Amino acid sequence: MTPTARTGGPGTSYQEVQASQEFGELRNRFRKFVFPMTGLFLAWYFLYVGLAAFAPGFMSTKVMGNINIGLIFGLLQFVSTFAITMIYARWADRQFDPTAERLREHMERGQL
């Protein structure tokens, strides 16, 4: 499989890696990014859904011509989805990937 043999060998075992400080930091960074982000977009989505179901009068308020708040709110869901996608991709490419790669190298050389 990988150089990280579970019994001896030059690599570090998965359990040792998991217990290491470097891996702990990697996991923390990942969770600190994705969990709040998930909470945020779910809250934003259910706010929209809730308003559409329980405040249709408000959502029907016209803003410009036949364009109402409901339509703008719906289109903003598209905007926020695109934005979160780009923010995450940029973060993962620049921050997460290099750290994960470094850790993998350390694992393979048994430097953890």
Partner 1 sequence: MKTALLTAAETVGKPSVNITIFVVFVLITLLIVIRASRNNRTAADYYAGGRAFTGRQNGIAISGDYLSAASFLGIAGAIATSGYDGFMYSIGFLVAWLVALLLVAELLRNTGKFTMADVLSFRLRQGPVRTAAAISTLAVSLFYLLAQMAGAGGLVNLLLGIEGTTGQNITIIVVGILMIVYVLVGGMKGTTWVQIIKAVLLILGAALMTFWVLGKAGLDLSSLLGDAAAKAPQKAPLAKDAVLNPGLKYVFDAKGHTDPIKQFDFISLSMALVLGTAGLPHVLMRFYTVPTAKEARKSVVWAIWLIGLFYLFTLVLGFGAMWLVGPKKILAAPGKANSAAPLLAYELGGTLLLGLIAAVAFATILAVVAGLTITASASFAHDVYSNVLKKGKVSPDDEVKVARITAIVIGIAAVFGGIWAKDQNIAFLVALAFAVAASANLPTILYSLFWKRFNTRGALWSIYGGLISSITLIVFSPVVSGKPADPKTHLSASMITNPSIDFHWFPLDNPGLVSIPLAFLLGWIGTLTSKESDATKYAEMEVRSLTGAGAEKAVSH
* CB-facing half-sphere around the CA of 41: CA atoms within 13 A: 17
Could you list the residues that contact partner 1 (CB under 8 A)? Answer: 1-2, 4, 6, 13-15, 17-18, 23, 26-27, 30-31, 34, 37-38, 41-42, 45-46, 48-50, 52-54, 56, 59-60, 64-68, 70-71, 74, 77-78, 81-82, 84-86, 88-89, 92-93, 97, 100, 103-104, 107-108
Quickly tell me which residue has 């408000």 as its tokens.
Answer: 58
**Cα 32 off chain centre by:** 9
CB of 95 to partner 1, least distance (A): 13
Cα-based distances in Å from 105 to 6, 18, 26, 82, 93: 16, 15, 14, 33, 17
Nearer to partner 1, 38 or 111 (CB): 38
CB of 21 to partner 1, least distance (A): 14
CB of 67 to partner 1, least distance (A): 5
